[in-house]
Structure 1
Amino acid sequence: MPDTIVILDFGSQYTQLIARRVRELHVYSELLPWDAPAERALALHPKGWILSGGPASVYEPGAPTLPAYVLESGLPVLGICYGMQLITQAMGGRVVPAGQREYGPATIHTLSENPLLPHGDHSVWMSHGDRIEALPPGFVALASTSNSPFAAMSSADGRYYGLQFHPEVHHTPGGKEILRRFVVEICGAHPDWTPESIIAESVARIRQQVGGERVLAAVSGGVDSSVATALVHRAVGDQLSAVFVDTGMLRLHEREQVERAFRQNLGLELVTVNAVEEFLDRLEGVTDPEQKRRVIGETFIRIFEAEARRLGQPPFLVQGTIYPDVVESSGPDRNKAQKIKSHHNVGGLPPDMQFQLVEPLRYLFKDEVRAVGEALGLPAELVWRQPFPGPGLAVRCLGEITWDRLERLRAADAIFTGELEAAGLLNQRLADEPGQIAQAFAVLLPVRSVGVMGDSRTYQEAVVLRAVTTEDFMTADWARLPADLLARVANRIVNEVQGVNRVTYDITSKPPATIEWE
């Protein structure tokens, strides 16, 4: 088991970013709810603890508290925002409402040499309404701001640390170095969480789970299901049968691309099931996005159950569930989070499903999945594909799903992504560089607007273009695309796609929106 940092989640919107930043240091981190039982947390054999921020105030009745096992463990502890205030309260300090709240950028001044903070002034991101009025006995201030005399603190023995600001967000430029100092230098965690180690652990875990049984893989053609299938194939070889379902909600030419990639590059036999009519029949009249996901999830499973019977009833089903899917669907480790949407491979599964799930990517972020895919030798065309939701175009075709509307959306999407690719902007590998697009697609709206074409009145549907920049897909910003490119795309769509006479561009970030529209 790799060296592990356990992160206790007290409800901060940034908690997943803490986990991601620690893993960027090649140290494994696992996120647990703040009230996880001691046996569960200690079973991970952590090298240290990080306490996240949260929306509560430590002095309020019923506010989340610091588990006793954290301090009793004797391991290093880093509290961030609410986590810092928890340490303060637990160790005898005092936390009170702030006379002046701090939200947004601030500058901290390091007060003394210490193992956590580099010397000097640093730009940081604050987000708190309480302040520490008195440090616990035996603690010293490490940094201050004009509004916070105790912007960072540590115990005299160097075991406990607190930061009033958020080192995990990009608005704190030196945050990664602060986390590295805590994780690697103070906790002594070895940076051995690499794609190769992830593969080795996943292979061992898969073999232990499935033994000599046969396994069925659900292949969607997306990055996640492709990497999950390749991992399981590495683990069990010919015990795996891969099934690709053509739902009718794929992107243009996607079926052919997926079949070619799997058969030529992985040497894996792929069974393709044409289920277009079945999906469209079951989705007839369905407009609610949550119901769409549930219908699609159940239909997928029923199709795989039928394939399983044909293949001799393999008891295991592989799915490409990744960590953001679990988070947004309120999986078992995030039972305190509000559900945002059901993912068809997390929240839309029927309760009477006949499979045991194999989910080797369940706790990996997208960048880790891609790194594992490369290490497995998957071709770039698979590893660096544009992200695509499991339900496919169903959640980009708002309103009722029909074949004509899907074809309309497919054509518009191909024009948009094709123009981005021709302009050199559609390259996930370079998504952290200015102007590079992490995800881009078209959305078809169930609304009509009046237009004029060839001196004639039209009354047709509208297409929305969506393009975002992001590093982790937990947060995202809209891409500032060149106006001439948008004009060219809009002109082509209204001229080449039947039934569309208006094109708009989505300029909403995540949050408050999600990347997908449904």
Structure 2
Amino acid sequence: MKHDRILILDFGSQVTQLIARRVREAHVYCEVHSCEVTNDFIRDFNPKGIILSGSHMSAYEESTDVAPAAVFELGVPVLGICYGMQTMAEQLGGKVESGAQREFGYAEVREHGHTKLLEKISDFTNEEGQSFLKVWMSHGDKVTKMPEGFKLMCSTPSCPIAGMADEKRGFYAVQFHPEVTHTVKGKEILNTFVLDICKAKPDWIMGSFAEESVQKIKEQVGKDEVILGLSGGVDSSVAAALIHKAIGDQLTCVFVDNGLLRLHERKQVEETF
């Protein structure tokens, strides 16, 4: 079964995997790949939408990673998060500068512009009728000039451009982190992007992923034999379990003690497998 796919490009954030988790909780298939993938890879992946993760880097430095050009040429919605917002701004003609005041932790951002991403999402409204979101910030740099075609989506007193959008092209960006639980409506924001803006079908669950993987392995291996280097770590252990479920005794695991196991864990791995 083919599923709609969301591509997450990783620029090195500590919480990139949380973005993937939120997308999968919406029952949409996604994959995390390095921001260094090629334009051809992105086109072949054929995503319904793309999410750019955060990073420790500064978007205005020459040595900094950037999103492949295909991200903005493919014609699918794109969401930039934190650094993802900054590299989107820099690459499309905006400007990013080092902020005089670093924001780390809880913040309240005021919503502007009634964009599709935030128009139905709010945590509270002040006496003047302005809507606000309770979010988690973690940045030193900030966008100081939006690219042509973008409009302001949200702001804080110390970060006047905390979110921006070019809805004609389906480009959205936020300076805060919707993937973390500290952003109260973060799940709703990501769901809105993935389900309403990208129009991805919510027809994927982890259980079906395992079943589909087993079937693919059966078809790929056929009657051949498979040898797997097994270290006892998560990656090789999951691979061993799935392959064994698919082809049984056609699989031979070779235990590789790489020296990183805990005390007595070698014996546990051998007994388990």
Which residue does the alignment assign to 2:205? 194
**How far apart in 1 are the matches of 2:62 and 2:242?**
47
Note the residue ranges of structure 1 that are not aligned, 5 or more in a row.
244-297, 302-343, 350-389, 396-400, 404-518
Q: Percent same amino acid among aligned pairs?
A: 48
Which residue does the alignment assign to 1:107? 108
- Quote how far apart the aligned CAs of 1:106 are: 0.6
Which residue does the alignment assign to 1:122? 133
RMSD: 3.1
Q: 1:225 to 1:121 in 2, by over 3 A?
A: same
The alignment partner of 2:216 has SS state of helix
1:174 to 185, 198, 203: 185
The code of the aligned residue for 1:12 comes to S
Q: Is the Cα contact below 8 Å between 1:105 and 1:124 reproduced in 2?
A: yes
The alignment partner of 1:43 has SS state of helix
- Quote how far apart the aligned CAs of 1:210 are: 2.0
Which residue does the alignment assign to 1:141? 152
Larger RCO (CA under 8 A, 6+ residues apart)? 2
The code of the aligned residue for 2:5 comes to T
Note the residue ranges of structure 2 that are not aligned, 5 or more in a row.
123-130, 268-273
Which residue does the alignment assign to 2:243? 232
After TM superposition, the structure 1 = structure 2 runs for residues 380-395 of structure 1, keeping only pairs within 5 Å, are 391-394=261-264
**How far apart in 2 are the matches of 1:145 and 1:20?**
27
TM-score (norm 1): 0.45
The code of the aligned residue for 1:125 comes to W
**How far apart in 2 are the matches of 1:96 and 1:228?**
44
Q: Is the Cα contact below 8 Å between 2:113 and 2:151 reproduced in 1?
A: no
1:312-368 residue CA offsets vs partner (Å, 9 max, x unmatched): xxxxxxxxxxxxxxxxxxxxxxxxxxxxxxxx5xxx39xxxxxxxxxxxxxxxxxxx
Q: 1:217 to 1:58 in 2, by over 3 A?
A: closer
The code of the aligned residue for 1:171 comes to H
The alignment partner of 2:45 has SS state of coil
The code of the aligned residue for 1:56 comes to M
Number of residue-to-residue matches in the alignment: 257
Which residue does the alignment assign to 2:17? 16
The alignment partner of 1:78 has SS state of strand
Q: 1:58 to 1:188 in 2, by over 3 A?
A: same
The alignment partner of 1:40 has SS state of helix
After TM superposition, the structure 1 = structure 2 runs for residues 162-311 of structure 1, keeping only pairs within 5 Å, are 162-215=173-226, 231-237=242-248, 239=250, 300-301=255-256
- Quote how far apart the aligned CAs of 1:218 are: 8.5
- Quote how far apart the aligned CAs of 1:186 are: 0.6
**How far apart in 2 are the matches of 1:139 and 1:223?**
42
The code of the aligned residue for 1:49 comes to I
- Quote how far apart the aligned CAs of 1:237 are: 4.8
**How far apart in 1 are the matches of 2:229 and 2:14?**
31
Which structure is larger by alpha-carbon Rg, 1 or 2?
Answer: 1
1:273-311 residue CA offsets vs partner (Å, 9 max, x unmatched): xxxxxxxxxxxxxxxxxxxxxxxxx8x24xxxxxxxxxx
Q: 1:105 to 1:205 in 2, by over 3 A?
A: same
